[in-house]
Amino acid sequence: MQIFDKGKIYNFMGIRWVMFAISATLFFGSIALLFTKGLNYGIDFAGGTLIQVKYHDKDAPIDLIRDKFASNEILKNASITEFGSASEITIRYTTTSDSLGNNPGAFVADMLKDSGEFEIRRVDVVGPKIGSELREKGIMAVIVSLVLILIYIGVRFEWRFALAAIFSEIHDVVIVLGAISLLSIDVNLDTLAAILTVLGYSLNDTIIIFDRIRERVKESKFIELFGVINESVSLTLSRTLMTSVTTLLAVITLFFYGGDMIHGFSIIMIIGILIGTISSVFIAAPMLSWFRFSVEEYRALMVAKELRKKEKEKIRAMYEKGRL
């Protein structure tokens, strides 16, 4: 579907400094948030216990439940919050004391036995050591992803495209982490999956634009990099917009109708898609100029490469005909 005039070239680079200023504010604001507020590690990464309780035919008596937990020396710091509706709650605590027994669900059920009819729907227990290992592996997964991206783009395009893509991906991840910190979203395995998905989505957008830039560098009438970028982004604008909008519609639907279990995931995806789309156009592409990418030099390089290829073909043909 072609939404925009196919022949029209929009001046995206004309507003690049405005977008840089917005991105820099979000980027450094996110870093400040991460240093001051930090991340709220969930049970997966911090270790601890999560119990989900559903009351029948009544709202959960949260004040009574908090009083009961406050009177227990081991569980007095437990976090008790509503989960999806007033009749359902989650109880989180970081302790894994043996004094609670091998079945924390049964222990909590016994504590709440006179608070009404309820059922224990979920019990997740993660030890501190396992949580620490999961956190280290999660960080390692993001680092390995960035390194593999660097290698892939460096081989497929060239080193300046690879560096621009990596800085753009780091920009996206930091802003998404800042949003996670600001919104106090639990950092767990779902959050990590959302961050890696955002990485993949943003990279896909960036590669499509880079691919078109590389193509237009060879064929465009422009000799200035920003002219080529404007032309390339304009040619991919309909595709970029349609992909972003349709993906956003799916994620927004998940946010409203997917339940509390994936609220954090869907919020991260919404923010990531918006940031990833903007960064692929206004951060990754103009960053090529910072690494001194030259259209004329690249064209000369391509011409020299083509000449070498033809020379090899000529020598091979002469060899096959027995002239060498």
Both tokens assigned to 108: 């909590």
Q: Is the pLDDT of residue 32 over 90?
A: yes
The residues, ordered by sequence, that sit 6+ positions from 95 with a Cβ below 8 Å of its Cβ are 48, 49, 74, 75
What pLDDT band is residue 116 in, cutting at 50, 70 and 90?
A: confident
Q: Which of 103, 126, 149 is the last residue of a domain?
A: 126
Q: CATH code at 115?
A: 3.30.70.3400
Determine the Cα–Cα distance for residues 209 and 231; give it in Å rounded to an integer. Answer: 10
Helix (H, G, I), strand (E, B) or coil at 112: coil
Lowest mean pLDDT among 141-155, 183-197, 219-233, 290-304: 141-155
- Compute the CA torsion angle 197, 202, 204, 209 (nearest 10 deg): 180
Mean pLDDT confidence for 262-291: 87
So what's the pLDDT on residue 233?
A: 87
> Cα angle vertex 78, ends 73, 84, to 5°?
150
What pLDDT band is residue 160 in, cutting at 50, 70 and 90?
A: confident
So what's the pLDDT on residue 175?
A: 93
What pLDDT band is residue 178 in, cutting at 50, 70 and 90?
A: very high
**Phi then psi for 176, rounded to 5 degrees?**
-65, -40
So what's the pLDDT on residue 4?
A: 62
Helix (H, G, I), strand (E, B) or coil at 160: helix
Q: Is the pLDDT of residue 158 over 80?
A: no
- 321 inside domain: no
| Total-model pTM | 0.77
> Cα angle vertex 16, ends 161, 28, to 5°?
80
Residues 80, 186, single domain; the answer is no
Residues 36, 135, single domain; the answer is yes
How many helices and strands in the chain, by DSSP H and E? Answer: 11, 6
